[in-house]
Chain A
Amino acid sequence: MGMAFSFILVVILILIVALGVLVPGLQYFFAVVVPYAALLTFLAGMVMRVLKWARAPVPFRIPTTTGQQRSLPWIKASALDNPSTTAGVIGRMALEILLFRSLFRNTRLELHQGSRLAYHWEKWLWLGALLFHWSMLLVVLRHLRFFTEPVPGFVTLLADLDGFFRFGLQGLYISGVTFLVAVTYLFLRRVLIPQLRYISLPADYIPLFLLLGIGSTGILMRYFYRVDVTAVKELTMGLVTLQPVVPDGLGMLFFIHLFLVSVLAAYFPFSKLVHMGGIFLSPTRNLPNDSRARRHINPWNYPVPVHTYEEYEEEFRDKMKLAGLPVEKEG
């Protein structure tokens, strides 16, 4: 149900923009108003979300330790999987954010011969996730060429490297292909693995369909129904310089592409996609395991009722004396 709902939702979005741009005057709305609103929503939403997280304190130091602690000098500590220093934490976080270290541990459980459990190699999720996120980053960086003039050297360099292979006369951007392949894989596993399908919500399918829509319109525009790049750049530079104009010849595919990107951006801060920011703040990953060596402060630590030794002795004094246990007070 979630999948059908999400699919229909994205189809409706596409219909809205496809029909909308046919109405005179609405082109400005879809090319200028919607992107600005989406960008503002994205920025304000993410800032508010992160501030909301950051305002909540971290009362306890609760890293999940996934390696040997630092204890005795002759026992080799696992500096990255169980960091005891800030440098170690930075290393751990870098591995987590750049290489998805935890996902790399993934295994798949199988039951053999009725009762034997076995844990199988399963790096596909890790590979798919890594491929998707890195492709996405590359695609976003490549798009900077639409928003800068002159285009910075590193963007051109990235585009040149990315487009090393040829498709017809054009450079074929590998990142575009891997992006679509990875999103398709992530979608298929969500549908085909029964447990995953069982836990999936519309909120899990919506971003996938949006990304599929964005990716395929992008590829169609670049390789099949060529978009007027000059017109696009005129629009994007107008947006960047806050002097928006809507040039002719942008084309239907472009409007769909831009609208889906806008929807995704506006949806981002209110969805699970906030994991992009959340990963930096996860207390089981971003803290050193050093709370025995350095005291961690809980800002809301409050006094609690305790059963004092005096109360304890008061109750058991006679029994303690009979058993020859030392007491503070004799009677």
Chain B
Amino acid sequence: MALPKPEELVPKSYQPPPTDWMDIPVKFRRGTYLYGARAKNLEAVGLPNPREWSPEDEDWKLPANWQEIILEGLRERLGRFRSLQIFMDCCVRCGACADKCHFFIGTGDPKNMPVLRAELLRSVYRREFTTAGKLMGKLFGARELTVDVLKEWYYYFFQCTECRRCSVFCPFGIDMAEITMIGRELLNLVGCNIDWIAAPVANCYRTGNHVGIEPHAFKDMVDFCVDEIENITGIRIEPSYNRKGAEILFIAPSGDVFADPGIYTLMGYMMLFHEIGLDYTFSTYASEGGNFGLFTSHEMMKRLNAKMYAEAKRLGVKWILGGECGHMWRVINQYMDTMNGPADFLEEPVSPLTGTRFTNASSTKMVHIVEFTADLIRNNKIKLDPGRNDHLKVTFHDSCNPARAMGLLEEPRYIIKNTCRHFYEMPENTIREQTFCCGSGAGLNSDEYMEMRLRGGLPRANAVKYVHDKYGVNMLACICAIDRVVFPALMDYWVPGVGVTGVHELLGNALVMRGESLRETDLRGEPLPVNDGEAKEDA
């Protein structure tokens, strides 16, 4: 499908239409919606109403009592989540969130204002669970749950990346991510997931990772990176898999194992671990850091996340180290211990090199690799040559979840500043807690959704363009595997000439390893621009 030109994709105006939003039915146009979940992927994990269907169909093949199922589901969730009750009752429609959402900025569609996206659910809540809504109906923003409303939910709850930017600005902390998560749970009760989430969930349940890599293939892929590292550094690294008695279990997002440019980040991790002699193991069973269950339901998130602790226990490691991934860290920081803990079979994480106790992770027993590496650099445990990244002018994209569900802001910057000499921040309204989403998070990173992804990515790309034009920035660093997968297309479209890298790829390039041969290329096999004197003589 041909994409519109960039100038055509930018909204002409943000004026709402004359028609009341409740009277505008949703239209499923190719490029702006995601395909429905295939039957086999729902069956694989026992989710209800498996069938073949398309959102474009008139008939969604819903169960006969679908309204009852959803309203009962909503009632149950109102009883389980105080957040949901508060977020349903307290919005004053002040509009502070309206222009904070990347999908609103990229589409101009008023239903993408977080306040209105929340009203999609709130209107049904009012009708069914409040007196005023029951009595006054539409006049009080209440409406019945019809098939059209359900279709609207599907369209817009899968047009929210759960990035939480709106909740930063909301005076009551109303979090669209929470509403979207619960909205998606309700949709899942009648089989209305998207396939791009359902398939990774099914894969992850069976094989341990979203991509469906079986154990032997997982090893092959990591071994491929081992060969690459040897080609570049002359050093043969020997990672271990499913090894009992290792001190640390290392879990990365599977995107780093199979997708370009994530694999260079994986190479960076492994080079670092080799250089410091870390006693760690990969697991083919817990071979996924990410968790598309988070985008399905709280229950599915728990089911997929369970592998981490189960595998740590089986292997008898002391603690877990986690790779660069965004929503993975939302799950680990805010859900894992509560859902699948207590991890009393593990120990409070201590860096074997620096002796630093990670007291902030004393209960989950899981440390972010960026915290771990920042501590190594701070304690001079590794030697870095930032000159090897001199061809890069780097900016840093704060991934939504590490920023707004964790607060991991300084650690990655510390690593970048120690591995690169040219680092430029994007404008302050677009970074740190105010960072803009890549536009493809929360399971929306499918190709059929490209037009909407490019729209959603507009504000982020715009900020990159600003530093690209001003400072010549040519590399966008991030700590999220979905970012690494989706940003290349986004940059090619909006800001050609900007590459995408993980922070540990930058580290891998700068890392001076004992016994390494002279590096002629970076991890991507591209020639290093300025070699040291010896190299020039050789040439």
Contact = CB atoms under 8 A, between A and B. Distances in A.
Interface string A41-71: 0000000010011101111111011111111
B173 A64 contact: yes
Interface in A60-98: 60-62, 64-72, 74-78, 81-82, 84, 96
A301 B339 contact: yes
Interface string A287-321: 00111111111101100111111001101100110
Interface stretch (A26-34, A106-114, A223-231, A238-246): A106-114
A203 to B, nearest CB: 6
Given A194-B16, A292-B361, A109 B99 contact: yes
B115 A199 contact: yes
A279 B356 CA distance: 38
Contacts of B310: 306, 308-309
A67 B414 CA distance: 16
A125 B264 CA distance: 46
By size class, the interface of chain A is 35 or more
Interface residues of B, number: 117
B93 interface: yes
Contacts of B206: 307, 312, 315
A143 interface: no
Nearest to B240: A326
Interface stretch (B328-336, B416-424, B504-512): B328-336
A279 B168 contact: no
Given A195-B110, A196-B98, A272-B91, A115 B462 contact: yes
Given A279-B90, A295-B342, A319 B85 contact: no
A12 to B, nearest CB: 15
Interface in B297-322: 298-299, 302-303, 306-307, 310-311, 314
A74 B377 CA distance: 12
Contacts of B307: 306-307, 309
A55 to B, nearest CB: 8
Contacts of A296: 337-338
B407 A60 contact: no
Interface string B207-235: 11000001110011000000000000000
Contacts of A202: 136, 139-140
B429 A107 contact: yes
B509 to A, nearest CB: 23
A326 B243 contact: yes
18 contacts: A56-B84, A56-B85, A66-B168, A68-B407, A69-B406, A76-B410, A102-B96, A105-B434, A114-B7, A114-B10, A115-B7, A117-B105, A271-B132, A272-B92, A275-B92, A283-B86, A293-B361, A323-B215
Given A61-B338, A62-B178, A193-B95, 4 more contacts: A64-B173, A201-B139, A291-B363, A326-B243
